[in-house]
Structure 1
Amino acid sequence: MAEIGNMTSGLAHEIKNPLSTVGLNAQLLAEDIDHLDAPEKEKVKITKRLDSLSREVHRLKGILDDFLQFAGRMKLHCEEIELRLVLSDLEDFYHPQCDRESIVMRMQMPENPVMANVDASLLKQAVLNLLINATHAMQDSEQKELMVRLETTENEACIHIIDTGNGIEEDRISEIFHPYVSSTQGGTGLGLPTALRIAQEHSGHIVLNSTVGQGSDFTLCVPLYK
């Protein structure tokens, strides 16, 4: 299985490199359109086709990036981290996206520091994937509220990502963490599996509670630093 994983990762890299070249050449061709000796109507048609090509290249690169992160070997660089600071950084980063989507984003943090031995970059990626998933879940909701809550138990730090989306049917809950399972148009279906894998690499887990018509609570838990 490890050999197959290495082969597929290598194949993805081999596809990604020429794909970048295709994207670059599409961009260069688009810049040369104005100098083309052709009717304006023809220039517009070519520009639209190049724009379509660039969008598809960008989409495929995104799929490959997600796959490489999911299938590749994760090397954790863990250190003692204050989780409130990690989540505060993510709030600053993601708030503009919420504003664009007309989503009210709220944070609930404990008064005291919450320390965990984690890879801050990977943990941010896992939480970001959950935030993106929550945003997609609220696309058709009248009330759009996104709550990020940090709590602690005796042994764990738990990060809740709570949305007011449509919720998830009980028979689908067991499958949404499987690769390439996605109900979002254009989604790769790797965001949630990658978040789960990152949690598990930290000896943690993700718990999902969801009510159809009300929303979902994805809770990522990692061990507290002791």
Structure 2
Amino acid sequence: MTSSDKSSPIDELRAQYEELAELSGSLAHEIKNPLSVIHMNIDLLSEDLADWHSPESRRPLERAKIIRDQCVRMQGLLRDFLRYARLRDIDLVSGSLNDQLETVLNAYSAEAAQREIEIVRFLDNDLPSIALHSDSLQAALMNLVKNALEATDRGGQILVRTYTTNSGVAMDLIDTGRGIDGNTIMHMFEPFYTTKEGGSGLGLPTARKIIEAHSGRMSVESDVGQGTKFTLEFPALRRII
């Protein structure tokens, strides 16, 4: 074997990671099927117990609800894990970051209005195009906007702005919410780390992975009690004159 045929330690590590990711994804997918069967049957059992109309059925009905709730939680966890594990190379096309943001913000406008949270938009109309995958980029943006809404109290504000940079385009998502402490910022992009009850801990890691798949980067600044700012940066596509 020549030296050119030998795999470098980095190549070997990458191959091992790919194999592990594929195995983990396959295992999670296999778990989904029996979990769906359990969920369906516990729903049927709950319906049977509800028809008894007796005090004796109350305790098993409560236990059935606990099982159903945990099934829902596990199904959500598996969904998030599969999205995280299988996100590798994606096909990118020329598109507008503003358009992706408008779609996401419009999707949350009703919830924001109901909670009396103002969404302020400062989107640069002359923003250059970027290479993007619409579905995955919107999923990342939705995660960030959803988190901002959850962190912001009634009467608060979320500001979204886009602008050009020396190397491309960027967007800021700024909320007036509760803020994030330093320890959480250090770990928030680690898979399965979460401070939310019932959270999967995969939302932000998946969002960052999506941004990196777009050759972009994500950063965060926060002050407890003052709010949080997420900044996303992307390389711009060259304009053809």
TM-score range, shorter chain: 0.7 to 0.9
Q: Secondary structure at the match of 1:208?
A: strand
- Aligned-residue offset at 1:45: 4.2
Q: Secondary structure at the match of 1:174?
A: helix
In structure 1, give the amino acid aligned to 2:119: M
Q: Report the TM-score when normalising by structure 1.
A: 0.87
Match of 1:48 among 62, 67, 79: 62
Q: Secondary structure at the match of 2:189?
A: coil
Aligned residue in 2 for 1:156 = 168
Deviations 1:84-130 (A, max 9, x none): 22111111212233244443222221233541110011110111111
Percent identity reads 32
Q: Report the TM-score when normalising by structure 2.
A: 0.82
* Residue 121 (structure 2) pairs with residue 111 (structure 1): no
Q: How far apart, CA to CA, are the structure 2 residues paired with 1:63 and 1:102? A: 30
Moved runs in structure 1, 4+ residues, more than 6 A?
none
* Residue 92 (structure 2) pairs with residue 78 (structure 1): yes
Aligned residue in 2 for 1:27 = 43
Q: Alignment length, in residue pairs? A: 222
- Give the RMSD, CA atoms, in angstroms: 2.1
Q: Secondary structure at the match of 1:122?
A: helix
State whether residues 143 and 164 of structure 1, in contact with CA within 8 Å, keep that contact through their aligned partners in structure 2: no
- Indicate the larger mover: 215-224 or 155-164: 155-164
In structure 2, give the amino acid aligned to 1:182: T
- Indicate the larger mover: 192-201 or 78-87: 78-87
State whether residues 104 and 145 of structure 1, in contact with CA within 8 Å, keep that contact through their aligned partners in structure 2: yes
Q: Any residues of structure 2 matched to 1:1-226 within 5 Å, and which?
A: 1-33=17-49, 36=51, 38-138=52-152, 141=153, 143-226=155-238
State whether residues 136 and 184 of structure 1, in contact with CA within 8 Å, keep that contact through their aligned partners in structure 2: no
- Indicate the larger mover: 106-115 or 180-189: 106-115
Query: Greater CA radius of gyration, 1 or 2?
Result: 2
Give structure 2 stretches of 5+ with no counterpart.
1-16
Q: Secondary structure at the match of 2:26?
A: helix
Give structure 1 stretches of 5+ with no counterpart.
none
- Aligned-residue offset at 1:202: 1.0
Q: How far apart, CA to CA, are the structure 1 residues paired with 2:225 and 2:208? A: 24
State whether residues 80 and 202 of structure 2, in contact with CA within 8 Å, keep that contact through their aligned partners in structure 1: yes
